[in-house]
Amino acid sequence: MLRLTWVQPEDLLGHELRQARLDGREPSAIEARWRAAGGPDAPERAGASPHRASRYLRLLAEDLLDELADLPSRLMEDEPTDLEKIKSLCAHWPATPVRRRGPDPTALEAAWLGRAIGCLLGKPVEKLSLDGIRALAGAAGNWPLTTYFTAVGVPGDLLAAHPWNRRSAATSLAENIDGMPEDDDLNYPLLNLLLLQRHGRSFTTMDVARLWLDELPPGRVFTAERIAYRNLLTGIEPPHTARHRNPFREWIGALIRADVHGWTNPGDPAAAAEQAYRDAVLTHTANGVYAAMFTAAVIAVAATGSHDVHACLRAGRGVIPPRSRLAKAIDRAIQLATHHSDFTDVVDELHATYAPAHHWVHAIPNTALTVAALTHADGDFGGSICHAVSGGWDTDSNGATAGSVAGLLAGGPAALPEHWRAPLKNRLASTVADFDGTGFDTLAHLTHLETARP
């Protein structure tokens, strides 16, 4: 029996009920109908429920998804998705610089490497609970985190209680890393590099959609991206691809696509945010879009090599609506990271605030955690990626984003400690175009070429 993840209506309905409450809609009456019919909760951590639903439940879920989408939101004025409305709410929207200052290619290599290293660190513990991550690292003598996870020395009963991520364990534990394995957190930057090569900075959201259909295997997309992909195949066009039966539209997917938009707009956070916006609205709305814009703007400022991490984060904060849930989460994360000397206390408070209502892949808690990690580590590379991954939730994506920012700030690959760099062997696996086996130095060169294009 094929239980296709992230698209089956009976699995989507529970996620949409939770999303409705988060974005200011009142779903109680619709939820009561779903419960009365025997409708299940959304899968807790996986993308599909284990058992086939009846035809009646599936049809009911489709109808209720459409009804939920029509409910009014009390947050619409504070959290628009239209770009001009977003900009009108941002009193500190960045000005366009007189001239852009391009990054040194070696800094871009450190950014690509940093993204890969942070992702690789988080891969084996993706989907694990916070307690599980802490227990596995502690049993190996690696808590607080200072290096890659390992199964060496970890008791078998602990491994049974907290199993590594099934897809990643064979390629991402310290004892078996052999180059950078494929991951969507690296596939998307490759796709966006290809996007700029083919269409330049003036690309449209439709260009992104066509590129995906040409170059991205549907089995390598997840959550909001899989829904949007399905919607494209049924003839739905952007930006409706982000809204139609898509309860994941505020999750982390658009954020993990933002790096190239920042890398190729050094010193111009506004341009970076606008590029990220045109990419993001294929799959996301509101805070899902803001998370991508924020990340691109942060990276654009980091790419100048002349600002500390705190200035970069402030610049990112300027491109998102100030009364949005994401803005409040970022402010809270910085406050916590500044106040607590022990990052464990920061993580515990973030989880107490966001875990009860948010899925572990939602953009708001994950962005907050990444911001807290960068702030608390003061931009230090090892500290940033270890903090981001040790905080749980979407560990590989958070590690990747923190690594990208901190790698840029480090200035070059030689500034990244050897024990992080060496296992990657300057080799990246991917299913995207002809990038499989490409070196990070080559990717930096190709990215640098795009910074000079008009």
Q: For residues 428 and 421, is the Cβ–Cβ distance under 8 A? A: no
Following DSSP, what letter does each residue of 211-259 receive, concatenated? HHHHH--GGG--HHHHHHHHHHHTTPPTTGGGTTT-TTTTBSTTGGG-H
Q: For residues 167 and 128, is the Cβ–Cβ distance under 8 A? A: no
Give the pLDDT band of residue 252 (cuts 50, 70, 90): very high
Q: For residues 355 and 387, is the Cβ–Cβ distance under 8 A? A: no
Span 262-286, pLDDT tens digits: 999 999 999 999 999 999 999 999 9
Give Cβ neighbours of residue 155 (< 8 Å, ≥ 6 apart). Answer: 139
Query: What pLDDT score does 151 carry?
Result: 97
Q: How far apart are CA 355 and CA 326, in angstroms?
A: 15
Helix (H, G, I), strand (E, B) or coil at 362: strand
Where does 123-204 have alpha helices with state H?
Answer: 130-139, 156-161, 169-172, 184-199
Span 4-17, pLDDT tens digits: 899 999 999 999 99
Query: What pLDDT score does 1 carry?
Result: 52
Tell me the Cα Rg of the chain. 21
Q: How far apart are CA 202 and CA 387, in angstroms?
A: 36
Query: What pLDDT score does 99 carry?
Result: 73
Q: Cα-flanking dihedrals φ and ψ of residue 7, to 5°? A: -135, -15
Q: For residues 303 and 341, is the Cβ–Cβ distance under 8 A? A: no
The two tokens of residue 369 are 């955690």
Q: For 204-213, what is the mean pLDDT?
A: 98
Q: For residues 194 and 216, is the Cβ–Cβ distance under 8 A? A: no
Give the pLDDT band of residue 98 (cuts 50, 70, 90): confident
Span 226-250, pLDDT tens digits: 999 999 999 999 999 999 999 999 9
Q: How far apart are CA 362 and CA 148, in angstroms?
A: 25
Span 372-426, pLDDT tens digits: 999 999 999 999 999 999 999 999 999 999 999 999 999 999 999 999 999 999 9
Write down the mean pLDDT value for the chain.
Answer: 96
With a cut of 80, say whether residue 2 has pLDDT above it: no
At the topology level of CATH, where does 83-120+181-451 sit?
ADP-ribosylglycohydrolase fold (1.10.4080)
Q: For 287-293, what is the mean pLDDT?
A: 99
| Adjacent-strand bridge partners of 342 | none
Q: For residues 383 and 376, is the Cβ–Cβ distance under 8 A? A: yes
Q: For residues 287 and 250, is the Cβ–Cβ distance under 8 A? A: yes
What residue ranges do the domains of the chain occupy?
Answer: 9-69, 83-120+181-451
Compute the CA torsion angle 179, 185, 189, 191 (nearest 10 deg): 100
With a cut of 60, say whether residue 292 has pLDDT above it: yes
Q: For residues 120 and 180, is the Cβ–Cβ distance under 8 A? A: yes
Query: What pLDDT score does 44 carry?
Result: 85
With a cut of 80, say whether residue 177 has pLDDT above it: yes
Q: For 427-452, what is the mean pLDDT?
A: 95
Query: What pLDDT score does 452 carry?
Result: 82
Q: How far apart are CA 147 and CA 385, in angstroms?
A: 10
Poorest-pLDDT segment among 65-69, 99-103, 371-375: 99-103
Q: For residues 270 and 96, is the Cβ–Cβ distance under 8 A? A: yes
Q: How far apart are CA 392 and CA 387, in angstroms?
A: 9
Q: How far apart are CA 232 and CA 226, in angstroms?
A: 10
Query: What pLDDT score does 207 carry?
Result: 98
Query: What pLDDT score does 190 carry?
Result: 98
With a cut of 90, say whether residue 52 has pLDDT above it: no
Give the pLDDT band of residue 454 (cuts 50, 70, 90): confident
Higher pLDDT, 97 or 257: 257
Helix (H, G, I), strand (E, B) or coil at 175: coil
